[in-house]
Each structure stands twice: as structure tokens, then as C-alpha cells.
Amino acid sequence: MRLRSRFRGIGGAAGAASGLALAVVPLESVARADDAPAPRALDPGEVGGVERPAAQSDDTARAVGSALLYVPRATAGLVFLATGAAAGLIEDRQVVPRVREILSSREGAVFVFPTAFVETGQAPNVGARMIAFAGESATSLRAGFGGLDEAVIESRIRLGRLEPLPLVVDLESLYDRSTDLEYLGVGQSPEDDPRNRFVGAPRAGLYRERKVRGIASLGVRPSDDLELFLSASATARRVDDAPGAGSDSSSRVFVPGSVPGASGETRVFYGELALRLDTRAVRGEPSPGVVVEGYGGAARGLDSGDVHFARTGGRFALFFPLIRRTNIVSPKIVIDGLVRFPGATVPFTELTRQPEFRGIDNRRDDLSIVASVDYRFVIMRYLAGRVFTDLATVAPALSDVGLGWRPAVGVGIDLFSSEATIGQLGLSGSPEGARLFLSFGLAPGFGDRQHRD
């Protein structure tokens, strides 16, 4: 009765029959649904309404660019992994990692990644580097090739410990062969310096050098910002004329015998003590702080008592923020000196040079002074821009320093991790011309004397 009265509004007996039929059909459908398997979930791709992906006019260019940049992207990833854990241990030469940096990289790993170096006036050099580390110790092997007379092989072992103070012991070996190297003579203006004896018109002499070097060093960090280093090296160099240089070869530019070490082989032992204060929280990314360093060392010839000289000098740099903490202005001055002993000989390859100068670095003498101001700012994570200006001079002694300083101005981009600078691209201009420099791999953060040439 309740069922009929429910559908009475539909209209008479027919309406009741219709209502009854409508009521029975859903019941039967429900019964069949209980016995049937659960329906398959639909694939969104089948019902998305997309027949094919949308095509853009630059898709081909994007695909080509992605393929071309795959190796740099993968390399950058490997380098960041390696530097993030091991740069302080293996590559920042003459650096004792802080305790917090060592503790953050105690797990071992092995990395292999390519390296590249390109600079105006020199052959491009490409190669690879392997870094392996575990705890406070690490090892590195690097090989680079730029031609038959342009090759380098370097190995390094670093052993470290935390107690009683953070310290590292480094053992290094190097084989380096280079050609078409320039020697202009000594002095700020070599063509006018009476110490240089030219054959004909003054010009640069080209030479080839084969260098074999071994280094042992001990570094200690007495406090969080203070580092002490004791190092010793033995270097053998063989110098001769650059093949194919013709009238520009070194022996035809300078009077034979007037340039010590310009032919034959020299073997020199050099020992040094250095002390550095670095208050920056991190070395790679722009960070405020102060760097003060002083050093002193002595050298003797291993195959001749005639070679004898000493080195002394230091650097001072301020890093202070401008507007933002990651925008850093950095004035710096670097002084390097060579002290001669009466009757002793100094090979021209041991004269003081100016790797801190970012113009054309082709001056040598007993004293070098480089002053610079950098403005470095973070563009994005791991990438910083740089604007800089340098002033450089060389002289026989401090009393001979004149007003003819060589300027250089330029811009650059740095790729960095918190622990180290990974790559650099820069362009500078100086009186000698423009200089383009590109390095990718790992770069030393300090210009210690054992690795400067």
C-alpha cells in the first residue's frame, strides 16, 4: 500500500504501474553491479582531450641547446658535489679547512670531471681531474693537454686530522711542458731598462720550458681564522728556444749569456713559512671579512752553489658589504719581493711575477706591487658578477718604484660554491691589449709562491 500511494501522483493505474516499474529497475541494476567487477580506472591521458603536445616555434632550438649544454650541466653538477665536500681539502692550495667544513664532508666519495683553461696568447688546455676523499684526507690526479708541447700531469695527496688542532700534510708532484712563453726582460719598461741586452730592436723572446716539481707542506689552524704553513719544494726546469720561433726565439732576442737560466737546466730548492688571517665566513661566495698574510722563504740551487735568493712579502685585503651583504667591495694590495745575495745568481724563471694582475701579466723583476679594487655581487645562487680595476708595477727595489703603473680594468663572472671558486670568465683591458681568460674546474683561492708559475 505504501508503494502504490508513493506513485499515485503520476496518474491512475498506469501511473502506478509505471512507478512500480521505475522502482524495480534500479533494484535489479544494483544487484547486477554487486556481482560485476569494479570498473577500470580511466587513464588521464586517454581522456585529457590532448591529441598531441603543443608545438612551439623554438622547440627545435631548445632541443639543440639542451643537447649541447648537457655536458656542461652534468659537469657543473659533479663539480658542485666535489667542491661542496672536498675543495677545502684538496684544491684551495695552502688552506687548512675549518673544523665545521671537515665535519660536513666526512663521508667518502670519488669524482671525475673535465677541466678547461683558455687565455689570450696561450693554447687552450683541456683535461680531466679526479678527486677522491674520505674524512679529513683526499687525493687528486689531474691531466691536461693543449698540444705536443703543452701538457700537464699533477698528483696530490692530502692527509688531515682534527686533534689536537686541525692540520693537513700535502705531498704533490707536477710535470708541466709549455712552449711559446714570452720573456720581455726585467723592469716595468723592459725596452728601456739598461739591465736588458737585446740583439737588435727590443722585443719579446719566446722560449719552451719543461718543469718537474715536488712539494711537501704542513698546515696548521691554531684558531678558526688563523692558518700557519711550512712548505718546501724542489723544482727542475729545462729551458730552450721555442720551436718555430725563428728570429723571435729567446737566444736571438737577447745577447747569449745575458739572461741567467735561459738555456740548459736549473734545479732549485725553496722553503717557506707563511701566516694568514682570514676572517671571512666562507671563501667561495661574496662574504665580508679581512685577509692578512705574510711570508718569508729562501732558495738554493741543488746542482750549483751560485743560485741563492730569498723571498718575502704579503697581502692585505678588506671585504665589506655595500647595500647588501652579498654585494662586496674589496680593496687589496699584494707585495712580493726577491732578495739577492752578493755573487749569487737568480734564474729569470725565478724572478717575481704578477699573477694577481688581471691585465697582460708579462713583467718580471725583484719587486712586484699590485693594488686592486673589486666589486663582486651575487647574480643568482652560485653565480656572481665582478667589476674590477688593477694597478701594477715592478722594480729592482722599493726605492725604485716610479709613477708608471700599468692599469687594467675589466668585468667577470664567477661560478662558486661556498668553499671555493669553481670557474671564472673574465675580460680585461690594459696598455698591452685585451685579455680574455676562462677557467673551469677548480681554482686556487690564494697566490702562494709554491704554485705561482
Kindly list the domain boundaries of the chain, sorted by start residue: 63-451
Pick one of 2.30.40.10, 3.40.50.2300, 3.30.70.1400, 2.40.160.50 as the CATH number of 63-451: 2.40.160.50
Rounded to whole angstroms, the Cα distance separating 207 from 453 reads: 15
The pLDDT value given to residue 361: 87
Q: What pLDDT does residue 72 have? A: 60
pLDDT at 410: 96
Residue 204 has pLDDT above 70, yes or no: yes
pLDDT at res. 165: 85
Give residues with Cβ within 8 angstroms of 224, minimum separation 6.
Answer: 98, 99
Residue 142 has pLDDT above 80, yes or no: yes
Per 3-state DSSP, the chain is made up of helix, strand and coil in percentages (nearest 5) of 20, 50, 30
Residues near 171 by beta carbon (within 8 Å), at least 6 away in sequence: 156, 157, 158, 214, 215, 216
Q: Helices marked H in 36-69 — which ranges?
A: 44-47, 59-68
pLDDT of the residue at 44: 58
Tens digits of residue pLDDT in 91-140: 555 677 776 665 555 566 777 777 777 665 667 778 888 888 777 778 88
pLDDT value, residue 158: 86
For residues 240 and 207, is the Cβ–Cβ distance under 8 A? Answer: yes
Q: Tell me the average pLDDT across 439-449.
A: 61
On the CB side of 190, CA atoms within 13 Å amount to 19
Whether 223 and 98 have beta carbons less than 8 Å apart is answered as no
Rg of the chain, C-alpha, whole Å: 34
Rounded Cα–Cα distance for residues 105 and 102 (Å): 5
Could you tell me if 430 and 360 are in contact, meaning their C-beta atoms sit under 8 angstroms apart?
yes
**Confidence (pLDDT) at 446:** 54
Whether pLDDT at 70 is above 70: no
User: Can you tell me the distance from the alpha carbon of 428 to that of 387, in angstroms, rounded to the nearest whole number?
Assistant: 10
Q: Where are the beta strands (DSSP E) in 135-280?
A: 137-147, 150-161, 167-183, 205-223, 226-241, 264-278
Task: Using the predicted structure, report yes or no on whether residue 68 has a pLDDT greater than 60.
Answer: yes
Tell me the pLDDT of the chain averaged across its residues.
Answer: 81
The answer to whether 376 and 330 have CB atoms below 8 angstroms apart is yes
State the pLDDT at residue 63. Answer: 75
| Nearest-angstrom CA–CA distance, 61 and 41 | 38
pTM for the full predicted model: 0.77
